[in-house]
Amino acid sequence: GAGVSQTPSNKVTEKGKYVELRCDPISGHTALYWYRQSLGQGPEFLIYFQGTGAADDSGLPNDRFFAVRPEGSVSTLKIQRTERGDSAVYLCASSFSGAEGYTFGSGTRLTVV
């Protein structure tokens, strides 16, 4: 596609529920990143995929967070047993390799009530 697409754009869920956030990267981009941005802060790194494999998942805050990219294109960030502190904007970015910089999507605003 022309840009990085993230769906849904907004998600409201109840505490304790499971959510999935989807990222559709630019066609041909092998590198895919997930970041989380809290209000008034810069984005924080969560996980980086190179192809199908997670090259670096050191930013995932705990084992309730998990991400997959089974075919090396679309990625899904999964959050189990959501907590109010998970409320944030979740940003996805893709790149050919990472070295030349990324293109970010518009994000998914997750609100846990």
Partner 1 sequence: KQEVTQIPAALSVPEGENLVLNCSFTDSAIYNLQWFRQDPGKGLTSLLLIQSSQREQTSGRLNASLDKSSGRSTLYIAASQPGDSATYLCAWMDSSYKLIFGSGTRLLVRP
List residues binding partner 1 (CB under 8 A): 4, 31, 33, 35, 40-45, 48, 55-56, 91, 93, 95, 97-107, 109
Paired sense of beta strands 108-112 and 10-13, if any: parallel
Other Cβ atoms less than 10 A from the Cβ of 29: the count is 18
Minimum Å distance from CB 104 to partner 1? 4
Nearer to partner 1, 80 or 106 (CB): 106
Least Å from the CB of residue 46 to partner 1: 10
Select 16 or 51, whichever has its Cβ closest to partner 1. Answer: 51
Sheet containing 19-24, strands listed edge to edge, beginning at the edge strand earlier in sequence: 5-7, 19-24, 75-79, 65-68
8 A C-beta contact, residue 5 and residue 91:
no
Q: Give me the least distance between CB of 37 and partner 1, in Å please.
A: 8
